[in-house]
Structure 1
Amino acid sequence: MSKPRPFRISVPETGLDKLAAQLSAAELPDAPLCAGSPEEWSHGTSLQKLKSLVDAWRDGSPMDKDGKVSGKGGGQGVKTWWRSIEDRLNRYPHFKVEIEEFDLHFIYVKSQHAGAIPLVFSHGWPGSFYEAWELLPYLVEKDEKTGMSFDVVVPSLPGYAWSNPGSLPHGWNATESARRIHKLMTQVLGYKKFFAHGGDWGTRITRLLANYPECKIYHTNFAPPTNMPWYTVPAVALHTRGYSDLFQRVLGRLYSPFEVLGMTRGLAYLATGSGYVALQSTKPATLGYALYNNPVGILAYLLEKFHAWTDPRSTAFGDKSEPSATDMSDETILVNTTIYALTNTIHTSLMLYFSDERSWYPPFDEYRPARSKPYGHSAFAYELARGPRPFISRLALNLVWYKAEDTGGHFAGW
């Protein structure tokens, strides 16, 4: 195992030249796939939104969460814009370290306050280490109420961003990633105890980290309702047969509107939003190769997920006349997408679905060491699939803290 090496994000000029040329040459249809559709996003990614983002990407002028042109590249092209984003991303220390013959990229920001708690943040798909970016300044500073602060470690999951081996070994799964992240925290950084947080695939990796004795407390923002009680089955059957109003009334007697919203979104996800899972968990190479070296294709594919899994009032998709509910902006989408495009990791990012998709429903014994660990959960209103609070205890979790957020969605860090 090597020592951490300082790393600075600096994409070669040739890579940016290629991206600029691809965006300039990009062609999209003149009209939507289905003209006259009553709902713009009903067939997938909105052509209008995609075109506007491609234009902003090419020109270097996406809007940030405050409605201002992002970075310093406004109108000067994607190369100038990305260099300003690199300057921002390099504000915090980046490193690479070899662990079990794998080069892992991570951000490591230490608090200036005594007694800071080590915290590892694990992202998911189609996110990146950038999901933690806006949180870092809040976490490293001492909280006025609790007096706590954190040393924050944000790895790029293997196969993502600059944790990029070009290909992953056969059988690579979340357990392989969790083991390396555990070694990063304990053997590389030398922590004898740490806390962990994750969302999406980071939820699974965080639960696996909690199996290790050094992980004392863990928290997630995603807990899919994979073990529903029997008495909800009739109501769900009503919804799947088209009786959504009756579904709402039946479950409304048992659960709050917030909880019913989570279940309704989960059923909609299963019905019309989960097709990508079937493809990525069976033939990831087909999709990965089709999107490889295709930045506009990557954007078109990821954009639909960002729209479907985000608070509809967000800056990127909501009514601009109303205050933003979340910080999902055009800039957020394009920074994250550019990371995929410039690191050539869209195909490797899909591999967890092939090797690990069934692991969302494992025997409880797989998490046995974690079952007694204190667990906290933040439930965001527009999560892609979310059950009521009582469902969480059915997942063999020692829930000691829970908070419902009336804004936000799947990408909680943003």
Structure 2
Amino acid sequence: MGEIRPFELDIPEDELVRLADRLDRTRWPEQEPVADWSQGTRLAALKELVAYWRIEYDWRRCEAKLNAIGQHVTEIDGLDIHFLHKRSSRPDALPLVITHGWPGSVVEFLGIIDELAEPSDSEALAFHVVAPSLPGYGFSQKPSSTGWGVERIARAWAELMQRLGYAQWVAQGGDWGAAVTTAIGQLAPAGCRGIHLNMPIGRPGPEDMASKDPKVLKALQALGFYQEWDSGYSKEQSTRPQTIGYALVDSPVGLAAWILEKIHCWTDNDGSPWDALSMDQVLDDIMLYWLPATGASAARLYWESFAKFGAGTVAIPSGVSAFPKEILPAPRAWVERTLTNLVYWNDLDKGGHFAAWEQPELFVGELRACFARMA
């Protein structure tokens, strides 16, 4: 109990052979009768990705990168939590817990961890980086009972930072990571000096319905689009996660289609998902769902917490980086209803929902600028 155990990935080769066999035996549907992504993942895009997955993709590259950063597991509240941990060599480094969302994973952070821990500029703020996998995601244990919502995860992350010996620390997140990080802010555990979100959480009030402010109008339009056209995945996962889970755990192509749609829709791209992320990056992420078979367990977080996403207020110091292609942009006035001690806000000119993944240099700069105000 409380032990930090080393964790090293070494997926058996026969698992990769079985995956290749499944990809070879895919039964494809007919092509969509539209010339865009309005009915979901396009057949041509998915076939292109699957062909690359089958022939050129190298899982061992990703496996080696994760092992090189440093992986660990520790039991918290009865559940084994997997996390990446890279300590900086700098004695003044600030401990940081950074949380991914869905359909992401800790691979979103592979492009930022080294720079955060060992800045190329010796004068820049450095961090001890802790990147846990959410319960039921990646190589964290799958909860066998209900109750693992964002509040419980927030308490677990506070325990993790204490267990690692970090008396003073900060927290960051986007997507579900934003919900968990907001919950950390509400909990205000001893030692947490502040939080940063790259998906600002805010809701409109009655007064916003008649607003002429362009930012408010943009946010209301995005909210309407999300509810009508983009939220089917969340409705299914928040009401019947087990049902969709069978397909996501059994079919690698079904899983890839489920995830690729969101990569396309939620990144800052010019029409193709590969404008924002490479096939290797996307497949690294998909593999962190496929190999541990987490399609169902990851979806259950929606069942646990989607209705409470972003509820409550945060009084500790908070910061926001607003990326232009965020799926639910929230004007600062909305966010300040939740983050009542907002000490940092910046509107970026490029980047989408997966900010650290898409724009690693910008993202690292945002964390330094924000947390410098809390260090």
> Following the alignment from structure 2 to structure 1, what is the Cα–Cα distance between the partners of residues 150 and 310?
13
Partner of 1:403: 346
Alignment-mate amino acid for residue 347 of structure 2: A
Q: Aligned ranges for residues 5-24 of structure 1 at < 5 Å?
A: 5-24=5-24
Partner in structure 1 of residue 148 of structure 2: 172
AA matched with 2:223: G
Deviation at 1:263, TM superposition (A): 4.3
CA-to-aligned-CA distance 1:44-92 (integer Å, 9 cap, x gap): 111110010010100124xxxxxxxxxxxxxxxxxxx112221222221
Distance in 1 between residues matched to 2:310 and 2:64, nearest whole Å: 41
Q: Which residue of the partner structure matches residue 239 of structure 1?
A: none
Name the structure 1 match of 2:43: 47
Of 295, 303, 307, the match for 1:354? 303
Deviates more, 1:376-385 or 1:390-399: 390-399
Cα deviations across residues 263-309 of structure 1 (Å, max 9, x unaligned)? 43332112200111211111110011222121111001111111111
Q: Are the structure 2 counterparts of residues 168 and 408 from structure 1 closer, same or farther at C-alpha, using a change threshold of 3 Å?
A: farther
Question: 1:59 pairs with 42, 55, 66, which one?
Answer: 55
Displacement of 1:261 after TM fit? Answer: 4.5
Return the match for 2:72 from 76, 95, 100: 95
* Pairs within 5 Å for 1:7-406: 7-29=7-29, 31-34=30-33, 37=34, 39-61=35-57, 81-142=58-119, 144=121, 147-165=124-142, 167-186=143-162, 188-210=163-185, 211=187, 212-226=189-203, 228-234=204-210, 251=212, 254-255=213-214, 261-313=218-270, 316-318=273-275, 326=276, 328-360=277-309, 362=311, 364=312, 367=313, 370-371=314-315, 373-406=316-349
Q: TM-score if structure 1 supplies the norm length?
A: 0.81
Which blocks of at least 5 consecutive residues in structure 2 are unaligned?
358-375
CA contact (8 A) 1:142 1:148 kept: yes
What do the CA deviations read for 1:210-265 (whole angstroms, capped 9, x no partner)? Answer: 22122111000112332x14333146xxxxxxxxxxxxxxx4xx235xx7555433
Q: 1:410 & 1:317 partners in 2: Cα distance?
A: 15
Query: For 1:168 and 1:135, how far apart are their aligned partners in 2?
Result: 33
% identity of equivalent residues: 35
Deviates more, 1:140-149 or 1:200-209: 140-149
Alignment check: 8 A CA contact 1:262 1:381 kept: no
Deviation for aligned residue 1:396: 4.1
Query: Which deviates more, 296-305 or 169-178?
Result: 169-178
Work out the CA distance in 2 between the residues paired with 1:264 and 1:91: 43
Question: Contact 1:315–1:330 at 8 Å: present in 2 too?
Answer: no
* Pairwise CA distance, 1:168: 3.1
Q: Measure the CA separation in 1 of the matches of 2:153 and 2:87.
A: 23
Question: CA, structure 1 residues 357+278, in 2 after alignment: closer, same or farther (shift >3 Å)?
Answer: same
C-alpha separation in 1, matches of 2:38 and 2:243: 24
Figure out how many residues of one structure are paired with residues of the other and give that number: 355
Distance (whole Å) between structure 1 residues aligned to residue 124 and residue 247 of structure 2: 49
- The separation in 2 between residues aligned to 1:28 and 1:406, in whole angstroms, is 39
For the 8 Å contact 2:267–2:273, the answer to whether it is kept is no
- Residues 354-396 of structure 1: per-residue CA shift (max 9 Å, x gap): 111111253x3xx4xx41x110000011000112222211224
Contact 1:159 1:168 in 2 (8 A): no
Amino acid at match of 1:92: I
**Does the CA-based 8 Å contact 1:197-1:203 persist in structure 2?**
yes
Deviations 1:91-150 (A, max 9, x none): 211111112221111111011112110000011111001111111122112474964210
Alpha-carbon distance change, 145 to 12 in structure 1, aligned in 2, over 3 angstroms = closer
**Is contact 1:143-1:149 (8 Å) kept?**
no
Residue identity opposite 1:161 in structure 2: G
Q: Which residue of 2 aligns with 1:246?
A: none
Q: 1:68 corresponds to which residue?
A: none
Aligned to 2:350, the other structure's residue is in SS state strand
2:182/2:310 contact within 8 Å kept: no
Where does structure 1 lack aligned partners over 5 or more consecutive residues? 62-80, 236-250, 319-325
Q: CA RMSD, aligned part only?
A: 1.9
- Please tell me whether the aligned partners of residues 324 and 348 of structure 2 are also in contact (alpha carbons under 8 angstroms): yes
Amino acid at match of 1:23: L
Contact residue 262 and residue 383 of structure 1 kept, 8 A: no
3-state SS in 1 of match to 2:351: strand
Greater displacement, 302-311 / 208-217? 208-217
What is the alpha-carbon distance in structure 2 between the residues aligned to residue 118 and residue 153 of structure 1? 8
